[in-house]
């Protein structure tokens, strides 16, 4: 399907972004990435020590995939931590891309909106191309766009929860507010059907980790999500019918025999 996605001037064919943590083994991670047909993987500098011997195997595997890396600031809870981690990522991966996380709540792993906006403004001013992990809050989206973000990454539900799209109304409102900015559902998806629903709402991409990595068969699940993303996007572009309160016959009455 020739329906490219554009992030900060970079054209991608796949609309599925995949995380790289929690997989049973490096071999399964590599196979799952291949099955997903992704072109972008996220990696956390706080999970693996980039310069240490312990992290060499992981970084080697990521390099061998040839996929574009979207470093993230996962685990950062202050603006200073997030900005410092972003600087490390830019040096290590030679990329201006950064998935910005500033966590404000330990139970839900919800973003700190105030710290997120502050960090986004600093990094955008320094030339980073920021992908902010956020809630579906419209005012937060406004502030992030004002700060310079040209991609928004609202959650569907708390990280790793698998609950799907908790607030469809809020996500629809965000899509309507920003029709021309790429919107990526990040966090909370647990099943391929939920990813398809996100695309049917008009979202441009989804980012997954736990739903694939912790599945009974991560490789098969990666393939299933790839198919669901394509199906949902195709359905959105084909224009689904509007829901009705009453039935509408699909078989014409004209010409039917009456007794």
Q: What's the CATH code of the domain at 193?
A: 3.20.20.70
pLDDT at 52: 46
Could you tell me which residue, 242 or 229, shows the higher pLDDT?
229
Residue 251 lies in a domain: no
Please count the structural domains in the chain. 1
Task: Tell me the average pLDDT across 33-48.
Answer: 86
Q: Does 209 carry a binding-site annotation?
A: yes
pLDDT(224) > 50: yes
pLDDT at 56: 62
Q: What is the torsion angle, in degrees rounded to the nearest 10, for the CA atoms of residue 85, residue 16, residue 56 and residue 123?
A: -20
Residue 79 lies in a domain: yes
The Cα angle at residue 76 between residues 108 and 12, in degrees rounded to 5: 90
Q: Does 166 carry a binding-site annotation?
A: no
DSSP state of 67: P
Tokens for 137, please give them. 């809050």
| Three-class DSSP category at 145 | helix
pLDDT at 258: 60
* Structural domain harbouring 35: 5-238
- pTM of the complete model: 0.88
pLDDT at 55: 59
pLDDT at 106: 85
State the average pLDDT for the chain.
90
Sorting pLDDT into bands at 50, 70 and 90, what band is 9?
very high
Task: Tell me the average pLDDT across 184-193.
Answer: 95
pLDDT at 255: 62
Cβ atoms of 224 and 191 within 8 Å: the answer is no
Could you tell me which residue, 14 or 75, shows the higher pLDDT?
14
**207: which residues sit within 8 A by CB, 6+ positions away?**
17, 18, 19, 42, 153, 184, 185, 186, 187
Sorting pLDDT into bands at 50, 70 and 90, what band is 256?
low
Sorting pLDDT into bands at 50, 70 and 90, what band is 51?
very low
Residue 203 lies in a domain: yes
Task: Tell me the average pLDDT across 209-233.
Answer: 96
pLDDT at 46: 63
Cβ atoms of 85 and 43 within 8 Å: the answer is no
Cβ atoms of 97 and 8 within 8 Å: the answer is yes
Residue 243 lies in a domain: no
Rg, C-alpha atoms of the chain: 20
In order, the DSSP letters of 92-141 are HH--SEEEE--B--TTT--B-HHHHHHHHHHHHHTT-EEEEEE-S-HHHH
The Cα angle at residue 210 between residues 200 and 108, in degrees rounded to 5: 90
- Residues assigned a catalytic role: 99
Residue 132 lies in a domain: yes
Q: What percent of the chain has pLDDT over 70?
A: 92
Distance, CA of 196 to CA of 130 (rounded, Å): 25
Could you tell me which residue, 38 or 106, shows the higher pLDDT?
38
**Host H or E run for residue 155:** none
| Three-class DSSP category at 241 | coil
DSSP state of 152: B
pLDDT at 65: 85
DSSP state of 1: -
Residue 33 lies in a domain: yes
Task: Tell me the average pLDDT across 157-182.
Answer: 94
Residue 233 lies in a domain: yes
Residue 259 lies in a domain: no
Could you tell me which residue, 35 or 94, shows the higher pLDDT?
35
Sorting pLDDT into bands at 50, 70 and 90, what band is 153?
very high
Give residue-wise pLDDT tens across range 62-84.
888 889 999 999 989 999 999 99
């Amino acid at each position: 399907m020739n329906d490219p996605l554009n992030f900060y001037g970079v054209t991608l064919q796949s609309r599925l972004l995949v995380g790289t943590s929690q997989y049973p083994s490096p071999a399964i991670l590599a196979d799952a990435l291949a099955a997903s047909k992704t072109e972008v993987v996220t990696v956390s500098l706080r999970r693996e020590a980039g310069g240490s011997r312990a992290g060499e195997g992981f970084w080697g595997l990521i390099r061998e995939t040839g996929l574009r890396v979207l470093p993230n600031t996962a685990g950062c809870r202050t603006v200073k931590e997030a900005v410092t981690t972003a600087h490390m990522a830019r040096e290590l991966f030679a990329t201006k891309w950064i998935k910005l996380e500033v966590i404000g709540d330990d139970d839900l792993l919800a973003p700190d909106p105030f710290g997120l906006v502050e960090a986004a403004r600093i990094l955008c001013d320094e030339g980073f191309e920021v992908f902010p992990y956020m809630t579906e809050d419209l005012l937060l989206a406004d502030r992030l766009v004002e700060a310079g973000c040209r991609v928004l990454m609202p959650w569907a539900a708390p990280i790793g929860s698998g609950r799907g799209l908790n607030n469809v109304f809020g996500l629809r409102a965000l899509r309507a507010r920003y029709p021309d900015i790429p919107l990526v559902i990040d966090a909370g998806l647990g099943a391929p059907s939920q990813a398809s629903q996100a695309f049917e709402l008009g979202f441009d991409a989804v980012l997954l980790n736990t739903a694939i990595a912790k599945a009974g068969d991560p490789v098969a699940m990666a393939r299933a999500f790839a198919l669901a993303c394509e199906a949902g996007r195709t359905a959105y572009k084909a224009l689904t019918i509007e829901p009705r309160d009453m039935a509408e016959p699909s078989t014409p009455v004209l010409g039917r025999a009456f007794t």
